[in-house]
Chain A
């Protein structure tokens, strides 16, 4: 299973990307790649998973159905998380001067590839 290859492809297609990772809903990182040594998804896999679980509860209570995507914007970067099936999610971090729209699209394109590898 070449998850790294898919992550590398995604990263190289998105201008300003910092790092990307495939994480299980239990918080365990399946694979990750980073262009910046300070960005280590291994350290925060569990936190990300907790964010997604909270978002899932909120989506359901708001009557919006299942959560598909979470986008976090800080004063330094933007982090995108997208669900891969029900048990995994993929995350991508982009600099503020990066192309967020492209990042979202590339991630959407990567999801079926991950799903294929995971089944």
Chain B
């Protein structure tokens, strides 16, 4: 569906509904009216359909949206909560509720909704962005909450300990930025509502200890210390070990403007994905084995290009979870590879075959120019990226973060396109 559905689309959906009044097509029809701005018509269609299908969550989501656009936020919230009673994993309902909470200025509640979405779907970039904005807004608010809210929080926390993650996230973001005092405040506030929470106590003790150490260490090393705090409690051992090896490591330059949370901050905290720079460096410096095709100079680009391609592949293979990557010509000959090279020729040919059949179907469907194919199997992913006359083949483990992989690939593809 397009954002601004044409009248013909509405006509088509209307016709389908007329042909079969019991059809569920009423929901997309109501949504099409909503997108067109015909909110009253949308409301009528949706309500009429819901009389026949009261448990249809998709239609209830549409109804919630209609109410939201009519400015009836209470009615919208009520509909979306009904949806979540029927389907607690309905991402659209969580997302819309989040936006309603933002509209109302209840950023903590919005954060909770967005976190539920990211728990179910960690790669949802829109929600990552929305969460980042909600956290920024929440962090800008005074830390103390009205007393009635505190009481409510206290009661909810007893019933649902997961609710505290919203504030924990804020605390962790503060830690990442080196704002220890603010992090301590957040932990103290959390403890005031849940004094028996050992995990919170441990975290608070850690931060207080670190803050004290920080105040006496060389300011030049302080950034590295701050970064250690993004490690989750279950990686505490690693954190201590890293501290003992400080002298061997180079602190990564960090943006000095810490006034805003960056996408990286959110991603690192949400995904607990702090990478070990040493490991990354080791992988990056791994020597590469030239393939037989490279040695013979068959179908290979010029030597400076090969070096450039190897550099980009080395960067790509540094992404945690990537096991091997290589560039193959459309005829299946490997141009350059990184990581394990066995069987590359056969795999290159299969990659080309997948590309060829995919290209055909994409052309027949009139769905534009092919860019990427991602194959997900039981224990890993194969990613094929179109590069003019070549195909980039990436093999990744099943545990890789697909969102991060896509980001890394976007960057690599741009560089490879330039070189090739």
Contacts and interface: CB of A to CB of B under 8 A. Distances in A.
Interface of A: 5, 8-9, 11-13, 15-18, 35-41, 43-44, 47-48, 50-51, 54-55, 57-59, 61-77, 79, 93, 95, 97, 99, 101-102, 104-105, 109
B91 A105 contact: yes
Nearest to A45: B361
Closest 6 CB pairs of A and B: A65-B378, A76-B368, A47-B361, A64-B377, A59-B377, A74-B368
B351 A47 contact: no
B361 A74 contact: no
Interface string B1-38: 11100000100100000000001110110010000000
A117 B125 CA distance: 33
26 contacts: A9-B56, A11-B28, A12-B27, A12-B31, A12-B59, A38-B366, A47-B364, A54-B353, A55-B382, A58-B347, A58-B351, A61-B346, A61-B347, A62-B380, A64-B395, A68-B377, A68-B378, A70-B374, A72-B358, A75-B369, A75-B371, A76-B367, A76-B368, A79-B365, A102-B124, A105-B121
B380 A13 contact: no
A58 B3 CA distance: 37
B1 A51 contact: no
A98 to B, nearest CB: 8
From DSSP, what is the main secondary structure of chain B's interface residues? mixed
Contact of B382 (A39, A47, A62, A72): A62
B350 A61 contact: yes
A90 B221 CA distance: 53
Interface of B: 1-3, 9, 12, 23-25, 27-28, 31, 56-59, 61-62, 89-92, 120-121, 123-126, 343, 346-347, 350-351, 353-354, 357-358, 360-362, 364-382, 395
Given A9-B24, A79-B367, A71 B374 contact: yes
A95 B367 CA distance: 10
